[in-house]
Each structure stands twice: as C-alpha cells, then as structure tokens.
Structure 1
C-alpha cells in the first residue's frame, strides 16, 4: 500500500472536527500539521492528536511533510490558500465553494494544471449511498430517458438558530451559494453537465432578526437576494427547475426528483450521505424504496479527500476541481441571469465522475482491509 499520504489542515473551525474524525487514524492518510489564524486552535488540536504539529499558515503551505493541503478556511480565503499550496507544489482539497469568485476558481484550476498537482473540492456528500444509488438507478434505466428534474431547498433563514448569521445575507451569501453546491453537484452526477441557465430572484425583506445567542433580537441587513429560482439546461437535453430559498417556512417537496418516460425517482437530501431513494414506475400503484446499490456506506465528511488520495491514472478524483468549477459557474450564471434578465450559456463543463461502487464502511475506512477498494 505504500506510505500514508500526508495532509495538512488549514482552518480549524467547526467543520474541521468532522474531517479530523474521519482522517485521524486512517491507514492511508496521516494528518501531520494544522494551522489557523487563531494559534490557540492549532495548539489545541496538536495537543490532542499525536504526531500533529501546530504551524503558521505559511509554514504549513511550505512544509516538506505535507503532500495535500486540506483547505477549511472561510470561502473568501479559499483562493489565497489554494494558490499558496499550489505554489509550493502541494495538492489541495477544499470545502465548498471552490473559491468565492469565478475568476479566482479558474485561476486555481489553471495554476494546478501548470504545476502538475491535483485539486479536489467538497461536497463529498454526493458520494454517499443516497445520491449514488439514485444515479445508479437512472443509469440503469429505472425512469427511462430522463426528461426533467426538480430541486428544492427551502428554509425560513439561518438567523433563527445561528448566533452570527450576517454572512448568509451579504455578498457571497444567500441560499444558492450556501446550499447550491450540494444540489448542483448531485444534479450533474444524475443528469450530466449544464450548458445554459435562466434565473430569477428576489428577497422577502430588507433585514432579519437574530433569534439566538448573545445577539438575539439584533437586526441585520439583507444585502443579497434570499430567494433564487432558475432553470438548468443539461447537455443531455434534460431540464432542471431549481429553487433555493431562505424565505419559506416549510415544504413537502422532495429535495430532488428525476422524471423520465417510464418512472419518477425521489432523491434524498444531498447535504446527507445517505437517505431513502424511491421509485414510482409507470403503471405502478405505489412508490418502491430502492436498496442501497452504490456509494460509500456510512460516509462522513472527508471521504471525498480519501477518494481524492486514492485516485490514479485509471480514475480521476470524484470530488474534483473541474466539477467544482462547473458548479460555481452554474451558480454564478444563475445569479447573473437573475440580475440581467436573460438566458446565459456556460463556458465550462464537467463529465460526471465514475460511479462509486457500493463500498462498505470497513473498506473505505481501511479497517480489516489490506488495500483500498478498487472501483
């Protein structure tokens, strides 16, 4: 199997715990260094995890003991950290979105290609049994030729529970940029890349009231549209109607539905790794639940990085940078279309990654196995 792949983590906020729980102790990777603008966070993680060194960001990016930089910083810092890692000859895997701005994302992909290093990006929830089982069903012809899909994400707003929700309502925020990567990555897995979009958006009110924490009752401004809808034209001919909103109370709509000539498939929440996939076939009288047939069983945050590390000349990483770039351009085009009132054609594309075979938790976690699964 060879030596473990060395990973350095930049950004030790809340999501870092989920990644560390997945990666620390895994036989195929070794977390060697951590860094955060708050040095006390780095020191706390280094004290907790044997063999981990607390470094400054620049020290980590240049460390000879780091092969891949795991970029868990805020979106506004994604480009700077990614380009810094690439400049030091490191692979980089980051949280979504790839970068905050489309031009920066293109620069990251171009720099990595020139340097001969890899770029990976969340979400990796789409590699779990929920989305992958749905994809396997579509590819097996369960709904016939796909005609159209719907994707729906509706909440009343994160300020009801988040003590510091300001960034959800400022530039770079909003429901599409916040949750869209999960839905769009799933739709590309299910129906292929997007060639053009048309969008419309609006906002329910100009300010929000924080509902919890030390700032409860404080009013914050809403500077971006809090409801974004649109139509995606997939290269294969299918159309997706997508709605992402912080302005609704609740919905009975499935997160994603795929409709074809001979059936309809309901797809679970793409922000989860698992979930129930149901099929209603033409002429049937009820829904049928499909057993898991593909995906990483009991997946957790970080499985995409493990998949990234395991990729080789025969298989590209599934949570890869080009897919993330295409997702970001799709979202950017929807927002631009909403502002300009016109259909916009995309300049990027991304082939759906290879389907994840049904892989037990023991296998992808490297337990009781002498080598990683071979998709």
Structure 2
C-alpha cells in the first residue's frame, strides 16, 4: 500500500534542503528545530514564547506522558494540543530512548520492553502496539515507531541485534498505525550504531516497509561528532528524497548546521532549555557562559543585533547576577533566548538555501562562532 506523502521539497542547495511538511495542526517549515516539551510543558518558558520565537512544531514524550498524567486521561481531555494549549503541530517520540536511559530493571524481548517506572516503581510493558496506541491517544501529528536505542560505544553484535529488533518492531508499529486518520504520520527510525553496513540495512528495511518520514536515531549518545556526521552520510542518501529526514536528539547549533549540509530536515534537543537553566546562552558569537565572573560588571546585552527582545534588553551583568543567585528568572530568560536563537538559526538556514547561498552562510556562521565575542567570553 502506498504511504501518502505530506512533505513538499521546495528547494535544494547542494545536499541542503528546504521544504514544507503539512500536518493536521499546521505547516512546518524545514529545516525545523522542535523545542522539547517532554512532559507537556516547556521547561522555563510559556507556550506563547515558543510561538513568538518562531517554532512551527514541538515535541512531546510518550514515556513521560504515559506515566503521568496518562495517555487515556489526556485523550479524555481533548488530546495533547488542547491539554497544553499549544494547538500547533506536535511530534511525539515513542519512549524507547527514555526506557533505555531512565527506567529501572528493564528487560527487552521480542514482544515488548518491560520496565519499572522511575516515578513510582510500577511495572509497565511497552510494546510497539502500545507505543502507537499511546501516541494516537495523545493525538500527535507525527508518531515515531518504537525502537531499541543502544548507547555507543557498543559491541557490533548488540548493535545488530537491536537494529534487527527495531525493524521487526517497525513493521508492527506500521500495522498498528493503519487506523490513524488521514494526515497523521508515522516515521521509521534508522538504527545501526556506528556500523555503516548496519545503517544501510536498517534504512533499506524501513524503506521496504514504507513510512511517511524517516528518522536517524541512536546518535548523540556518546559518540564523537565526526562519527555522528559519518553515520548521517551513510544513511541519508539511501532515504527517499521526497520524504522528510529527522535527526533525533541533536543538538548543538554546529551539529545542526553540519547535519543540514548533509540533507537533514528536522531536529530536536533539550539543549537550549537545559543549558539555559545552567547559565549558558547560545548567540551568534557562539555559547556564552553567564556564570563566569568576567560578566559581573558588563553592561552590554547578550546580542544587541538579536531580534529577540530579551537578548537585547538585559545586561550580561544582570543575567550573571540572576544565574549566580539561582533566581528562576535567569533560567527563564536564558531558556527563551536560546530557543529564539535556535529558531533564528533555522530561519536563516532556510533563507540561505532558498537563494542558493547555504555554503556561504555555513562558512560565515562557523567563522563567527570560532571568532566569538572574545571580550565577553
């Protein structure tokens, strides 16, 4: 059966792509960065700030939401968009990564992964069918297949076992998704660790099954950046050009810039908000650590050229004071500043691709990061 395609590829510049993904809750411009609202909330930000920053789509997490407040409860309250008031496009990951990283006493077999909740120790089973059921109850526009993610470095035998299991689970997820309404999407996840031939086999196996879009998973889990980029180069060219490509859990501005150069369309990461809560700001000059004492008497804003008001308004000295005093306002301001910077980077990338100047933009942006705001860092 042919899988409908909701992605329009608008333009390319080298391998870099810009496009439009149409979901039941709106259009997503790509390349796109999805801020992570793990448990149905963006840590340190109001949803209106996420919208105002320019985000088209956000991410919610199946693992956390199924544990609390519960998928059935969210469905009874109108679905995740209504529950959160986001009301825009939303992707939910399957929960597989969180099971592997957070759950206690987990056990994986052919049928499912069983684990104990990190909240109360309750025994829970998550099968491919249940992962899809939860995501459909949440009402996300884009659901992800359940997979097994192996942290790197790992033995090849374990990587191959998990990859093959993920392929079998992908088939079951697709069957479970067949009753979803028109317009909703299911993405498959390419696994295979840092082994090129396993990445090839995983990508081809997913194509044979057929999905609305394809993610590359199992990266940004401890491997060096050059390994991550090499695995993108192995997997991405195999994937259908007319379908969206999503690099899961990535990353830094540099990671995203280099991944776009390798034809990736979508990203998510907790880094902008997590780092903001710990005093690190992302700017056009590169990262600035506001915990450093050198900022204590600096009256300058973070970036007087930013189009985000908080980056232009508050002095580095005041932000330093808030961070060192553990004031909640400091975490809130830096989180919104970081989300806004990530969205600005995506917007500028899309604009550069559209006019055939992505490579010039990439080199210029990297040079600015490397040069930095020397006097202030």
Q: Same fold (TM over 0.5)?
A: no
TM-score between both structures, scaled by the size of structure 1: 0.34
TM-score between both structures, scaled by the size of structure 2: 0.33
**Higher helix fraction (1 or 2):** 2
